[in-house]
């Protein structure tokens, strides 16, 4: 049987990808940010999964106002890095896992979550920046990401967006789906996006360090209560793009303690850093106890 062994959480910011692609990670501005991922890169080498289920949001790259899936599961064999306006990032093509993805589709849809299935899409910074942060630089031609990745997109860009509660319940359904897959696979689930940031309007540049850290404390210790955070609180406290944080609740909902079959997860690593462009970068690694 397949198992979810750990969950990883990290913000995404396009400029982080640019800093890596243009070899600027040693600059004073970026050094403290990347230092926060040194442990994580070692941890990922030591705890290499067979598959990563990567929850992220597309930013009007593969989707648009023409088509707005709330939850979209990548069932394809490959996903190309997207051109977001200045050429595709020089990173490897993402290899999918169609067998596990189609099993998850079957199981999660039968658990009453109506997913959109996507066999072809390009993946933007929402997916490639977390991979770059965790895996480090990769040769775009001869290199490869450490394992297959199942992309799972959540609409947090165009209203109405799903609630934290819905995301948390979906995570629980994904755990059941993974555990009913008939092959021994070590699966990690990653929740990405957030933390506080607002990219437009009068409050552009908003950061809320205190709220972010209180939210993290609660997400770790009492995820069910955290999942009840109303949508308006994210927008008021963490800015309009702070709503990306609901994606972290999918990963947290997939941990075994939520299902009542294990102790609270072990916090292997926690990091918080400002500034990185306009975003407060939060990062967490939780291991199932």
Residues that bind ligand DHB (CB under 6 A): 12-15, 59, 197, 199, 241, 277-279
In whole angstroms, the minimum distance from the beta carbon of 211 to ligand DHB comes to 17
- Which DSSP string corresponds to 203-259? TTT---HHHHHHHHHHHHH-HHHHHT--HHHHHHHH-GGGGGGHHHHHHHHTSGGGG
Among the listed residues 12, 59, 103, 125, the single catalytic one is: 125
CA–CA dist 22, 266 (Å, integer): 35
Judged by phi (left if over 0) then psi (alpha if -120 to 50, else beta), residue 150 lies in: beta
Minimum distance, C-beta of residue 276 to ligand DHB, in the bound complex (Å): 7
Residue 197 bears catalytic tag = yes
Closest approach, Cβ 170 to ligand DHB, in A, equals 21
Q: At which residue do the structure tokens 């705890």 appear?
A: 47
12, 103, 197, 283: the active-site residue = 197
Nearer to ligand DHB, 50 or 212 (CB): 212
- Is 12 one of the annotated active-site residues of the chain? no
Comparing CA positions, the residue from 195, 184, 189 lying closest to residue 234 is 195
User: In the complex with ligand DHB, which residue's Cβ is closer, 34 or 181?
Assistant: 34
Among residues 13 and 246, whose Cβ is nearest to ligand DHB? 13
Taking Cα atoms as reference points, which of 180, 206, 186 lies closest to residue 195? 206
CB 273 within 8 A of CB 197: no
Supply the minimum distance, in Å, between the C-beta of residue 112 and ligand DHB. 30
Kindly list the catalytic residues.
125, 197
């Amino acid at each position: 049987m397949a198992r979810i062994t750990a969950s990883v959480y990290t913000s995404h910011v396009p400029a982080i990808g640019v800093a890596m692609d243009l070899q600027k990670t040693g600059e004073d501005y970026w050094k403290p940010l990347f230092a926060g991922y040194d442990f994580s890169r070692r941890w990922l080498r030591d705890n290499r999964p067979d598959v990563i289920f990567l929850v992220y949001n597309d930013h009007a790259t593969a989707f648009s106002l023409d088509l707005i899936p709330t939850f979209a599961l990548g069932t394809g064999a490959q996903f190309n890095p997207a051109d977001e306006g200045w050429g595709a990032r020089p990173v490897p093509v993402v290899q999918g896992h169609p067998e596990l993805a189609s099993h998850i589709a079957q199981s999660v849809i039968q658990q009453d979550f109506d997913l959109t299935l996507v066999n072809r899409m390009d993946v933007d910074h929402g997916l490639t920046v977390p991979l770059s942060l965790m895996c480090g630089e990769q040769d775009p031609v001869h290199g490869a990401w450490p394992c297959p990745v199942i992309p799972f997109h959540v609409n947090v860009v165009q209203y109405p967006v799903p609630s934290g509660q819905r995301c948390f319940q979906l995570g629980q359904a994904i755990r059941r789906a993974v555990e009913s897959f008939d092959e021994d696979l070590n699966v990690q689930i990653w929740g990405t996006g957030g933390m506080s940031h607002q990219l437009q309007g009068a409050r552009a540049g908003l950061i809320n360090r205190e709220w972010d850290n209180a939210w993290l404390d609660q997400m770790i210790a009492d995820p069910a209560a955290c999942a009840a955070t109303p949508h308006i609180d994210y927008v008021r406290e963490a800015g309009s793009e702070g709503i990306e944080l609901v994606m972290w609740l999918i990963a947290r909902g997939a941990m075994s303690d939520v299902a009542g079959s294990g102790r609270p997860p072990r916090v292997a690593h926690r990091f918080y850093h400002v500034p990185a462009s306009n975003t407060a970068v939060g990062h967490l690694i939780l291991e199932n106890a």
